Amino acid sequence: MLEHFAAWLAATPLSAFVAGQAWVVPTVQTLHILAVCVVMGAAVVLNLRVLRVVERDQSIGSLAARFVPPSAVAIVILAITGLLMIAGEPTRAIFRSVFWWKMGLLAAAIALTAGLLAGLKAQGVWDDAQTPTPVAFRGLAVGLLLVWVAIIIAGRWIGYTEGWPGSPS
């Protein structure tokens, strides 16, 4: 199925445009990296605040209101630029396990972050900057920081791993 998808994608005008214009891929990669900075910046600030390392005088609710919307926009930009990079080389990322690990980790990071914020709101730790964060949420915050770092490592390693045996090249 992936091979049919890759063959279909390679025959599209979009793939011809991305692969044919020398400026497109470096521009798209730059936008991808800039969007990573936004997502990572927000993830680091929010999770270090849950751990009460930074912004201790700010409530988690006020920080989430500032950092979650731009992260959501950045993840949409990451999806679009990521799909453009796939369109430019349909037989590259989608035939490498590290890419699917990255997508799985990203889904987990988004779900766990939503769970963390909803849980903190339910625990009444949302609006008051002085209330200590329950230990379970601090553990989740450490786990989330590790997951985001793993996503970056996976993203970088896509280009350094082999495609599945027998996959198109």
- Separation of alpha carbons 69 and 54, rounded Å: 20
Shortest separation between residue 156's beta carbon and ligand HEM, angstroms: 5
Q: Which residues contact 86 (CB under 8 A, 6 or more apart)?
A: 9, 92, 93, 94
In angstroms, rounded to a whole number, what is the distance separating the alpha carbons of residues 61 and 74? Answer: 20
Q: Which is nearer to ligand HEM, 28 or 125 (CB)?
A: 28
Q: How far is the CB of 30 from ligand HEM (least distance, A)?
A: 8
The secondary structure element, H or E, covering residue 23 is none
Residue (67 or 148) nearer to ligand HEM, CB: 148
Residue 130 three-state SS: coil
Helices marked H in 21-134 = 24-50, 60-88, 97-122
- Does residue 92 touch ligand HEM according to CB under 6 A? yes
Q: How far is CA 140 from CA 5, 101, 109, in A?
A: 37, 20, 10
* Interface with ligand HEM, residue 6, by CB under 6 A: no
* Residue choice 6, 9, 87, 106 for contact with ligand HEM (CB under 6 A): 106
Rule CB under 6 A: say whether 82 interacts with ligand HEM: yes
Nearest-angstrom CA–CA distance, 145 and 153: 13
- 90 lies in the site for ligand HEM, by CB under 6 A: no
79 touches ligand HEM (CB under 6 A):
yes
Identity of the residue, 6 or 125, whose beta carbon is nearer to ligand HEM in the bound complex: 6
**Which run of H or of E encompasses 164?**
none
Query: Among residues 82 and 113, whose Cβ is nearest to ligand HEM?
Result: 82
Nearer to ligand HEM, 48 or 75 (CB): 75
**Which residues of the shown chain bind ligand HEM in the complex (CB under 6 A)?**
29, 32-33, 36, 39-40, 75, 78-79, 82-83, 85-86, 92-93, 106, 148, 151-152, 155-156, 158-159
